[in-house]
Amino acid sequence: MKFVSKYLFSAGRFTLLFFVIVLLLTLKVNAQLKTNLDVFYSLADSLVDQINFEIPSSEKKILLTLNLGQNYSLFSNSIKERFRKNGKEILEQPPDELNIPHVDIVMEGAGVEYGEMFRDGWFGTHYIQRYSTIFGNYLQTFSESGKREFEITRIDTVKVDDLKFLENDSFPFTKGTVPSEPFLSGFAEPLIAIGTAAAVIVLFFTVRSE
């Protein structure tokens, strides 16, 4: 009985440990999952980094004008914060000093599109490619390059079942059209399952007859 009790205790402890590990792994995966809106914030950060790279590091102040429209005004604070993290002081009114770079950003559009659906193996999870894009133009007066167009895209792969967590009903540009599952994929899997089962039955009776 002591041996049995010890075994059950060890088995229970192992089960609990296994459950904790699975829970931690699940939390880690969910924490790493970026929503469509999170991706757009990162694209806006990339835009700021691109503009900041063109401004000499000796320039610590910029006059910033944002023309984001009603649809993309939520990026305003993150854009300003990104400039600050790059060491720039944001001025929103014309300064008394001359020759301070003026940065004017116009956000013309943002959106997400999904590629073809595919499975991870015959009976695996459905995945889909996610294409997230922002585009528009900007003008920074320190250089003589004039107005520049920008289009920044990020491509990654997400689970189809996670789309309901990734999109945001409050922001239509975070939503895209999900293509249907390829016909051959949905049609072939039941046939494969039936064929496998039939092969197992035939093998079973063949072995028995021998």
Cβ burial, residue 166 (10 Å; 0-12/13-18/19+): buried
Domain 34-196 listed as CATH 3.40.50: no
pLDDT at residue number 73: 96
In this structure, the number of other CB atoms found within 10 A of the CB of residue 188 comes to 12
pLDDT at residue number 99: 76
Residues of the chain with pLDDT under 50: 2-31, 183-205, 207-208
In this structure, the number of other CB atoms found within 10 A of the CB of residue 173 comes to 18
pLDDT at residue number 195: 47
pLDDT at residue number 77: 96
pLDDT at residue number 33: 82
